[in-house]
Amino acid sequence: MAKPLPISPLASPLPPLGVVRGVRLGAIAAGIRYKGRTDLVLAEFDEGASVAGVFTKSKCPGAPVDWSRESLRNGVARALVVNAGNANVFTGRAGIETCRLTAEAEAGLAGCDAHEVFLASTGVIGEVLPAERITSALPDLRAALSEDGWEAAARGIMTTDTFPKASVRQVEVGGVAVTIQGIAKGSGMIAPDMATMLSFIATDAALPSAVLQTLLSEGVGRSFNAITVDSDTSTSDMVLLFGTGKAGNAPVTSAADPALSAFREALDAVLLDLALMVVRDGEGATKQIRVAVKGAVSDASARVVAMAIANSPLVKTAIAGEDANWGRVVMAVGKCGEPADRDRLSVAMGGVTIASEGAVAAGYDETPVVAHMKGQDIEIDVDLGLGDGVATVWTCDLTHGYIDINGSYRS
């Protein structure tokens, strides 16, 4: 077994985690790929739980993505089974059969329909996932489930992650206290388009699946779909949001209801926390980078420009080398095919304007920018000067550590 990876220098500590009423979860070592660590996670939800989901847009999705996407049609969830180490992707009929057998085994234990069981897998692509590794471990795993199993679950879904990722918020809906708590995994193959990225969030708020779906879809656009580590979109990306209804708040039938204002903000905060932890655990990362673009012809155009900067190997390696090479930012803006005008463009790093109106800014002093580049949190701001479009995305630097990890991923 490969040695554990060193913990990212950008690692975020686990917050104090509580319980979400109506959720029990845990993890077990099922020997799916790893030795000496947990790799199978189970969560069960009280009867009546609603669910929302956002999935990868990859044209080569894993069998668990297809299963969970189909299950989402019913809007009801009783269980979630997640394994790490094997993505169950590109495994043909065997992958589909593993999903069926896993869901039916858990459904039999939980006393529910198989399509009330959601499935997710992460790990190596193209290797058959033996169903019996999972189904034989489920009874013992289920017997040990606990309301306090969140940290164990966060650790059980890790692959090349170097630290577990979780976030929690307490808020009120109609004067009733509710909890939102979630976990995520992801480190490489991160450029979500809904990376290998999974996230599972639960709340005890009583909200129908349609309301949860609207809130989740909008929130993912501002969080998980606004990060990139290496520009590669996984076959297994999935974000699921479960609502148990145990808080007992008054019924809410629309995501636009003012009673959900604080809930929406809290959910967005949890999603962004988890997304940024994925960036901060980017394979080989030593710096987190925030790219903000304004002045584009539209928000969509601004996003393309921001992602071009965030995904540029030249930009990312310059930042790894603590080099304030703003010319690489200009290059990335110019190559992406979106409207831009060299003579209206301005670039700033660390809040210091470097280039403006087609040239180096008058009186530019590199000293504060050099100091900024030595920090762990880097800020790049671009103003295209063309319109009102804005976008913010996050990424990390590109170091030799990324090659070391991915060059030996399967060994």
Distance CA 258, CA 256 (A): 6
User: How does pLDDT run across 177-213, given as a tens digit for each residue?
Assistant: 999 999 999 876 555 554 458 999 999 999 999 999 9
For residue 282, pLDDT beyond 90: no
Active site residue 196: yes
Confidence grade of residue 156 (pLDDT, cut at 50, 70, 90) = very high
Higher pLDDT, 4 or 191: 4
Question: Could you tell me which residue, 163 or 283, shows the higher pLDDT?
Answer: 163
Q: What is the pLDDT of residue 186?
A: 86
Active-site residue, from 56, 160, 179, 196: 196
Distance, in Å, from the CA atom of 33 to the CA atom of 29, rounded to the nearest integer, reads: 10
What per-residue confidence (pLDDT) applies to 193?
Answer: 57
Q: Do the annotations mark residue 411 as ligand-binding? A: yes
Is 196 a known ligand-binding residue? yes
- The separation between CA 23 and the C-alpha centre of its own chain, rounded to angstroms, equals 21
Residue among 311, 310, 315 at smallest CA distance from 392: 310
Residue 115: predicted pLDDT: 97
Phi-psi domain of 112 (left: phi exceeds 0; alpha: psi -120 through 50; beta: other): beta
Q: Alpha-carbon torsion 70, 74, 75, 81, what sign?
A: negative
Higher-pLDDT residue of 134 and 194 is: 134
DSSP at 90: S
Taking each helix axis from N to C end, the angle separating 299-311 and 326-335, rounded to the nearest 10 degrees, works out to 130
pLDDT of residue 192: 58
User: Percent of the chain at pLDDT above 90?
Assistant: 86
Q: Which pLDDT value is given to residue 195?
A: 47
What pLDDT is attached to residue 160? 85
- pLDDT tens by residue, 338-355: 999 999 999 999 999 999
- Identify residue 248 by its one-letter amino acid code: G
Alpha helices in 61-91 (DSSP H): 63-71
Structural domains of the chain, ranges and CATH numbers in brackets: 23-280 (3.60.70.12), 288-407 (3.10.20.340)
Mean of the pLDDT values across residues 151-160? 95
What six digits make up the tokens of 144? 């040990």
The answer to whether the annotation marks 294 as part of a ligand binding site is no
The pLDDT value given to residue 194: 47
- Lowest mean pLDDT, pick from 89-103, 188-202, 271-285, 391-405: 188-202
User: Which has more confidence, 282 or 157?
Assistant: 157
User: For all residues of the chain together, what is the average pLDDT?
Assistant: 93
Higher pLDDT, 119 or 59: 119
Within a 10 A sphere around the Cβ of 24, how many other Cβ atoms? 18
Cα-Cα-Cα-Cα dihedral of 372, 375, 376, 378, to 10°?
Answer: 0
**Has residue 315 got a pLDDT over 70?**
yes
Q: Which residues pair with 83 in a beta bridge?
A: 40, 121
Q: Binding site annotation covers 70?
A: no
